[in-house]
Structure 1
C-alpha cells in the first residue's frame, strides 16, 4: 500500500514531513507550502493507522516511508518528524542511511524509549479511558497534554480530529495487522551521519526535553534548539515560526551540498 500523501513544489531537493502520533498530515498546513515556496519538493503523508492511510496488513512505519520515497522516485530526502514521526525518521535514517540527507526532529520520540513518571501516568490514564470506551475523554486528555499554552482553538480542533480518527482506525484493526517495531539500538542511532536539528519546547514533558538533550549529544552532526514558547507540537503552536526554523535549517544544509543549489537536477 502506498501511504496517502500530498505533494507541493518542484525544487531539486525532497522534503518529507512525518506527523506526530496524535495528528495526521494536516498538522503541516503551516509549513507545507512555505517549504515548497523555499524551493523544495515537499511530501506530507499519513502513516498507516492515521488520517487516510488504513491499517490493512502488518507493517513497519519506516519501511512504509521508504516505499513511499521509492514510489515518488526520491533517492534521498530531508526528513522532518514531529514526536512519533521523529522516531520513524530516526528509524529510517538508521535502517536506510543512504535515503536520508538531513533530519529535522521536533520533540522526537526515540526507538525503545522508557517513559518517565509523567509520561507513564499519561499512558495509564489514556489506557484506562480507552478500555472504558470513553474515547471522547481520551481525545481530550491528548489535546490537553500535547499542546502548549499558545495553541489556538483551530490547532486544538485539528488534534482532536486527528486523534479520534487514529483511535477509530487503530482500535478496529486486527492484532495481526499491528505495526512491527524495527530493532534500532542506541548504537545504531549514534552511527547516523545526517545533519540533524533537534528542537524541543520549554513547556514539553520532561521525557522529551531529556530525549532532545541526549540526541543532541548522541547524533554526530546534531544542533539543539530550545523553543521557549513551545509545548510538544510547535508546528501547530507557532506555525510560521516553525516554518522559518525548518526553511533556515534546510537552507544551511543546502549550502554544504552544492548539488542541491537552485537549478541542480531533481533527486
Structure 2
C-alpha cells in the first residue's frame, strides 16, 4: 500500500492513516516526493511516477495498491497508466489528473501564489494554501500541520540553486485496468470535483464518491472516516496479506 501525498503536504499527511492500514494487514510505504519532507529537490531529470516505480523495485515490491491525495493522485494515475502491471488498486482523494487544464479559479490561485512568492512573502503564500485547500471541518491543529508541511516545501524548493524540470511519462488512462475509488469534496474547487466525478467515464473499474463535508484534503479533515473509506475499498479489491510499514 503506497501513500502519495498532496502538493501542499508531505508524507506526514498520512499520519492518521498509515498505522491503521498496517494494523489491517497491509505493508505501508509512504515516500516523500522530491522537494518535500525529507527528500531533497532533484539534481537531474526525473519523474515522480518513475521515482515511485524505482522505489518499489528497490523494496522488492512487484505489485501495489496506490492511494493518492491531490497531486499524489496524478502521480498514481501516471504510474498506473505507464506501468499497469504494477498497480492493483487506486484510491484517489480529490486527485489531479494528467493533462488537466486549470480553470479560472485555479489559474487565479496560482497567479496569487506566484506573486506572493516572488515578493518574498512566504507567510502569506502559506496562508493562501491553508485557506484554499482545507474545508470547514479542519480545526486549528490540522491547519497548523498543513501550515508546517507547506512552509517546509516552499523553503526547500526556493532554496534550490537550480530547478530541474520534471519529465512526464505517457499517461493513457485507457491502459488502467485496476479498480479505482475516486473521491471528491463538496467544498473543493470545481476543477477537482469535476475531475474525480469524470474518472468513471475514463476508467473501466472506477466509481466516484463525493463527501458533502470535505474540502480538498479530506484525509486530514475527517481522518477516521476517510481511513474507514479506504479500508472498505481495499478489503474488497486487495485483501491484505501481512503487516509492515516503510517510511
TM-score tier, shorter chain, comes to: over 0.9
Q: Distance in 1 between matches of 2:58 and 2:111?
A: 39
Map 1:181-196; keep pairs closer than 5 Å. Answer: 181-184=168-171, 188-196=172-180
Corresponding position of 1:12: none
From 39, 43, 46, the counterpart of 1:53? 39
Corresponding position of 1:218: 202
Q: Distance in 1 between matches of 2:229 and 2:40?
A: 32
Normalised to the residue count of structure 2, the TM-score between the two structures is 0.94
Structure 2 gaps of 5+ residues are none
Structure 1 gaps of 5+ residues are 1-14
Computed over aligned residues only, the root mean square deviation of the Cα atoms, in angstroms, reads 1.5
- Structure 1 residues 133 and 262 mapped into 2: Cα distance closer, same or farther (>3 Å)? closer
Q: Distance in 2 between matches of 1:124 and 1:111?
A: 21
From 95, 104, 108, the counterpart of 1:121? 108
C-alpha distance after superposition, 1:55-92 (max 9, x if no partner): 14232100111111111111010000000000000001
Instruction: Indicate if the aligned counterparts of 2:65 and 2:238 stay in contact, CA closer than 8 A.
Output: no
Q: Distance in 2 between matches of 1:112 and 1:182?
A: 11
Give the number of equivalent residue pairs.
Answer: 242
The list of structure 1 runs, each at least 4 consecutive aligned residues, that deviate by more than 2 angstroms after superposition, is 172-184, 260-263
Normalised to the residue count of structure 1, the TM-score between the two structures is 0.87
C-alpha distance after superposition, 1:156-212 (max 9, x if no partner): 11111111111111122244523223342xxx1122101000001111100001101
Corresponding position of 2:192: 208
Corresponding position of 2:8: 22
Residue 243 of structure 1: SS of its match in structure 2?
Answer: helix
Q: Distance in 2 between matches of 1:37 and 1:152?
A: 26
Corresponding position of 1:250: 234
